Every structure is written in structure tokens, then in C-alpha cells.
Amino acid sequence: MTTVFGVPIQALFSQLLVGLINGSFYALLSLGLAVIFGLLNIINFCHGALYMLGALVAWLLLHFLDLGYWPALLIAPIVVGLFGMLIERTMLRRLQGLDPLFGLLLTFGLALVIQGVARNYFGVSGEPYDVPEQLSGGKNLGFMFLPNYRGWVVLVSVLLCALTWFVTERTRMGAYLRAATENPILVQAFGINVPVLITVTYGLGVALAALAGVMAAPIYRVNPLMGADLIIVVFAVVVIGGMGSILGSIVTGFALGVIEGLTKVFYPEASNTVVFVIMALVLLVKPAGLFGRTA
């Protein structure tokens, strides 16, 4: 068998794939965080909890309404997105003009509530969620075995990231959004309904997290705490990339996923911590983050 640095090439590529999958979720979540932060000036701590909620809604749809993966891929983000808009309208809106730290504390509280309620009804062991029929099985690429579903997740994530980039950078709606990030009062004076824009943006950012949750459901088990540890890694990703640019979030997310996957092959003990170590190094060399403007 071919080996690279004493590691079988098959193991290397399969961990690389796992890294890409994790990277997809990092990218999708940090993208949502960056867009929300730009407009609301709030770090959405409940992003991980809403990602979990997406997976949970998919599971509930399957068990109570007999709706499978494909409808869930559409319905769960809409449900969670509406829930997010409700949160924005009723709570986050009241924090405008206050120190952003209060937004962090509020969303942290919301994450505790959402995760706590989910844990009380579902326990901590988690529920399995089957891979949809159309995507089961896999292909032998010669150098590795590629499960169809995992290829699908990476593909969809890349497309979603590209779509988000396109919407924010190349469309009229995106132009409003970027303008409102720079100067909301002026944009409002030009006749654009900024409060609605904020609500919709928050809803979309959250829906993106929920979509990631649905895609994650067949890979990991649907577990009430699946978002809790993930969000901390995503925070580190955000610190490394800086929240200044959409493209930066995407690249950093995928890159860190891959680095994490490679660490699992060459030095498994450090695979949990490698992202945090890189964060510390980046802070030493380039405190504003790799793609960040000055803090």
C-alpha cells in the first residue's frame, strides 16, 4: 500500500474528507456569524444551538410527519429562520445602542435555554438519522472510498458559500446590506427599511446554520449538545479569519477543517486543540486576524 510519511494514503484521504466536512460546517457557521455581526453588531452565541435545532427539526419531521431528508432540507431552515426572526424582533432589537457584550450574554442565555429544553426531551445520547436513499453507498476513487453523502455535503456547502458571497457582493440586496453595515442611519435616510433588513438578515444567517444542522444530522447523531462545542471552535475560526470579509470566513473555515483532519492523522492527541493553537499563533503574528481589518 502507498504511504505518505508512514501513513497509509487511504487513511490520509479519508481524514482529509472528514476535515473537509468539518470545514464545511465551520465555513457555513462562521459565514452566518460574520453577516449577522456586520449588521447587528452582535455575536450570535446561540448559532450553535440553532444549528442543533435544524437537525432536531429534521428528526422531528421524520418521526411525527413522516417527512424525509429532502423536505427537511427546505422546511427546517425556514422554521428555524422564522424562529430566529422572532428572537430578533422580540429581544435582540431591544439591545440596539447598548454595548455588544450584552448581545453576547443574551444569546448565550438563549443557547442555554434551547439546549436545556432539547436535552430534557431527547436526553444526551442522541438519535440516529439515516442517510437519504438516493445518496447512500459510495464510489471507489481508486485511492480512496468516497461515501456519496459526504461528497454531497462538501459540494452543497461550497455552493452555498459561493451563493452567499454572490448575494452579498454582487446583488442589490447585498449592496444595501453592506451599506447598512457601514452606516445604517444614512441608508435608512435613503428610504431603505433597515429594521426589516436586519430582521431578514438575522433570519437568513440563522437559516444557514439550520441548513448546516440538517446536513450534519446523518453524519453525526442528532444530539442536543452537538452545537455547544462546535460554536467554540467556530469562534476560534472567526478570530483567526477576522469578520471583515465573507471570502475570508469561507477560506478560513475550510482550511482549518482540513488542518484539523490532517492533525488527526499525524498527531491525533492534538486534533481537538489544533484550531485553538493556530488561533494563539495568529494572535501573536497578526492580531487583527488573517483577513480582518484593524480591530
Q: Where on the chain is the footprint of another protein (CB under 8 A)?
A: 37, 43, 91, 94-95, 98-102, 104-106, 108-117, 119-120, 229, 232-233, 235-236, 238-239, 269, 272-273, 275-277, 279-280, 283-284, 287-288, 295
Write down the least CB distance from residue 111 to another protein, Å.
Answer: 7
Query: Would you say the C-alpha torsion 236, 234, 116, 199 has a positive or negative sign?
Result: positive
* CB 228, min distance to another protein, A: 8
Shortest Å, Cβ 42 to another protein: 8
Q: How far is the CB of 263 from another protein (least distance, A)?
A: 12
Region label for 250, one of left (φ > 0), alpha (ψ between -120 and 50) or beta (otherwise): alpha
Contacts of 74 (CB under 8 A, 6+ apart): none
Pick 155 or 280: Cβ nearer another protein: 280
**Which lies closer to another protein via its Cβ, residue 113 or residue 163?**
113
Nearest to 233 by CA among 19, 78, 85: 19
State which residue, 19 or 77, has the beta carbon closest to another protein: 19
**Looking at beta carbons only, is 92 or 154 nearer to another protein?**
92
Spatial contact of 69 and 6, defined as CB atoms under 8 Å apart: no
Q: Which lies closer to another protein via its Cβ, residue 117 or residue 189?
A: 117
Closer residue to another protein, CB minimum distance, 7 or 277: 277
Closest distance to another protein from the beta carbon of 223 (Å): 14
- Our CB check for another protein shows the closer of 103 and 218 to be 103
Angle formed by the axes of helices 47-64 and 228-241, nearest 10°: 140
Q: At its nearest, how many Å lie between another protein and the CB of residue 262?
A: 18
Instruction: Find the shortest distance in angstroms from Cβ 10 to another protein.
Output: 27
Rounded Cα distance, 182 and 144, in Å: 47
Task: Decide if 28 contacts 160 (C-beta within 8 A).
Answer: yes
Residue 113 or 159: the one with the smaller Cβ distance to another protein is 113
Contacts for 228 with CB less than 8 Å, ≥ 6 apart = 48, 49, 52, 111, 115
> Smallest gap, in angstroms, from Cβ of residue 55 to another protein?
19
